[in-house]
Every structure is written in structure tokens, then in C-alpha cells.
């Protein structure tokens, strides 16, 4: 089984951490392909960044489906482009917020999230509503460490994440979801320190996609997630024209 874990930001050191997390939980025989978007922002911490990250991640899904990839993880906590990716993929596509929330909701009554910058808090809440977990989400707290600074020991990221996780637990949460793919490496250590289940969405999404493939289940292709209607795409995005791929027409 091939699972493509897409880092939709363009920072390869972050992809390496994502690959470690995904590989460490994958079953023997599962091939985890961690890939980095070839275009887009270095990190994703605004709606603008999210929008710019979507073409790069769709390229990875489009090419993966052509090459026989079985399932996809979108490894950014804003779950950018997940619906569009589902239109391109036959297999399952799971975002890491989606996976983290589903896992946390099965581990306790209420869960909280610790994200990077405060400006990403509303997006984390919006996604909880979207996935049906609004009433189970106790709070979303920000550690105020920018995404790429998570890798910098001088940012004291681990301490800041632990501090915010403790505050989430003090607020009544039974479990905590880490709100950034760049926190995956911290997860086991933070969980031991904080004393409640701490969920890394990258690992959760990896095993969820793996399970769905093992069950023989893929994205439903009859309605909303059917392949997008082919049409001309021009300008910088011309390579995203799907007409060659779908009906052999030329541009």
C-alpha cells in the first residue's frame, strides 16, 4: 500500500519530521511517501498562505493518482484543499485536523487544540464545527511559535507547547490535539509530560488512511467528489488543465 503524505508548505526539513511521524506508525508493508509541494509558501499560517498552498498540494495528488498512490494525507492543520484533493483522488484523502479531531473525540468527552499563532485559532475552531465536533472542542490555544521556528531549539517550542497543553487540560479537556504538522516530532514527549492523550494529526491521518484502504474504501465519486468538469485553465495555472487527463482533448 502506498500512502502519500503531502506537506503543502515548501520547507523540506518540515517534510522530514512529517515523514518520521508517519513512518513510525505505518504498518509493515505500507510505503509512506512524504512529499513537499514544489510551489507555494514556506509555511502556512494565514488564509493567504493556505490559498497559495493549494495548487502545489493538488499537483501532488493529481500525479499520485496517475502513479497508483492508494491514499493521501494533507499534512497541514488548516486542511487546505482537502475537498479539491478528493475530487482528484480515487483513494481516501484525510486532513490532519480532521484526523486529529476524530481521534481525540474517541479518546475523551472534550478535547482542546494547541496551535502555532493566535491568528490560526479561528480556523481550528471552524474546522471543528465543520467536522461536527464544535460542542466537543473545549478551547484552542496558541503557543505563539511561528511554524518554521518550531524546528529552532531557541524558540523553546517544546516548553511553550507543554505550557499551553497544560492550560488546555486545566480547562477540562480529556485530550489535546497538536495544531501543526511541525509539532509531530514533539507529540510523544509532550503526551508523557502532560499526562493526557496528545494527538498528532499526521500519525492519526496516516493510520486512518491505511485502515480505510485496508477496508477497501475510497472517496465516493458519484456526486460532490466526482472528477472536476474539465475546462481551460490559463495563465500560471495552465498545467492544471485536466482535459488531457480526462478526455484526451488538447488545450
User: Interface with ligand 2AL by CB under 6 A: which residues?
Assistant: 9, 43-45, 76-77, 115-116, 120, 147, 179-182
As measured in angstroms, the least distance from the Cβ of 242 to ligand 2AL is 26
Residue 155 phi, psi dihedral angles, 5° rounding: -80, -10
Q: What backbone phi and psi angles, to 5 degrees, belong to 95?
A: -85, 155
Min CB(121)–ligand 2AL separation in Å: 9
- Compare residues 1 and 24 and give the one whose CB is closer to ligand 2AL: 24
**In the complex with ligand 2AL, which residue's Cβ is closer, 77 or 131?**
77
CA-to-CA distance for 42 and 216, rounded, in angstroms? 35
Residue 196, φ and ψ in degrees, nearest 5: -130, 165
Cβ-based nearer residue to ligand 2AL, 9 or 60 = 9
Minimal distance, residue 41 CB to ligand 2AL, in Å: 8
In the bound state with ligand 2AL, the residue whose beta carbon lies nearer, of 131 and 225, is 131
Judged by beta carbon, residue 52 or residue 105, the one nearer ligand 2AL is: 52
Q: How far is the CB of 130 from ligand 2AL (least distance, A)?
A: 16
Cβ proximity to ligand 2AL, 157 vs 225, nearer residue: 157
- The residue among 23, 106, 102, 35 whose CA lies nearest residue 64 is 35
Q: Which is nearer to ligand 2AL, 115 or 191 (CB)?
A: 115
Whole-number Å distance between alpha carbons of 65 and 60: 9
Q: Is 63 helix (H, G, I), strand (E, B) or coil?
A: helix
Residue 218 and residue 48: Cα distance in Å, rounded? Answer: 30
Angle between helices 121-130 and 96-105 (to 10 degrees): 70
Taking the complex as a whole, how short is the minimal distance between the CB of residue 40 and ligand 2AL, in angstroms?
A: 10
- Closest contact distance (angstroms) between CB of 184 and ligand 2AL is 9
CB of 182 to ligand 2AL, least distance (A): 6
- 50, 212, 176, 98: CA torsion to nearest 10: 30
| Cα four-point dihedral sign 240, 123, 99, 102 | negative
Longest dimension (CA), the chain: 60
Q: φ and ψ at 103, to 5 degrees? A: -65, -50
Amino acid at each position: 500500500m502506498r500512502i502519500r503524505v503531502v506537506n503543502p508548505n515548501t520547507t523540506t526539513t518540515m517534510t522530514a519530521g512529517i515523514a518520521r511521524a508517519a513512518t513510525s506508525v505505518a504498518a509493515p508493508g505500507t510505503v509512506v511517501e512524504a512529499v513537499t509541494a514544489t510551489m507555494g509558501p514556506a509555511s502556512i499560517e494565514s488564509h493567504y498562505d493556505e490559498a497559495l498552498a493549494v495548487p502545489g498540494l493538488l499537483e501532488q495528488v493529481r500525479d499520485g493518482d496517475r502513479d497508483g498512490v492508494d491514499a493521501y494525507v494533507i499534512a497541514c492543520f488548516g486542511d487546505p484543499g482537502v475537498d479539491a484533493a478528493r475530487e482528484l483522488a480515487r483513494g481516501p484523502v484525510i486532513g490532519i485536523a480532521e484526523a486529529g479531531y476524530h481521534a481525540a473525540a474517541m479518546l475523551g468527552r472534550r478535547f482542546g487544540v494547541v496551535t502555532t499563532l493566535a491568528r490560526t485559532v479561528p480556523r481550528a475552531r471552524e474546522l471543528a464545527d465543520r467536522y461536527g465536533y464544535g460542542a466537543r472542542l473545549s478551547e484552542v490555544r496558541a503557543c505563539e511559535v511561528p511554524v518554521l521556528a518550531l524546528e529552532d531549539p531557541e524558540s523553546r517550542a517544546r516548553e511553550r507547547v507543554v505550557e499551553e497543553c497544560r492550560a488546555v487540560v486545566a480547562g477540562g479537556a480529556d485530550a489535546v490535539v497538536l495544531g501543526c504538522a511541525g509539532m509531530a516530532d514533539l507529540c510523544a514527549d509532550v503526551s508523557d509530560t502532560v499526562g493526557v492523550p496528545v494527538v498528532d494529526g499526521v500519525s492519526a491521518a496516516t493510520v486512518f488512511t491505511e485502515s480505510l484502504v485496508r477496508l477497501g474504501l475510497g472517496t465516493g465519486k458519484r456526486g460532490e467528489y466526482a472528477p472536476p468538469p474539465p475546462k481551460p485553465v490559463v495563465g500560471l495555472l495552465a498545467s492544471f488543465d485536466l482535459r488531457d487527463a480526462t478526455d484526451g482533448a488538447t488545450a
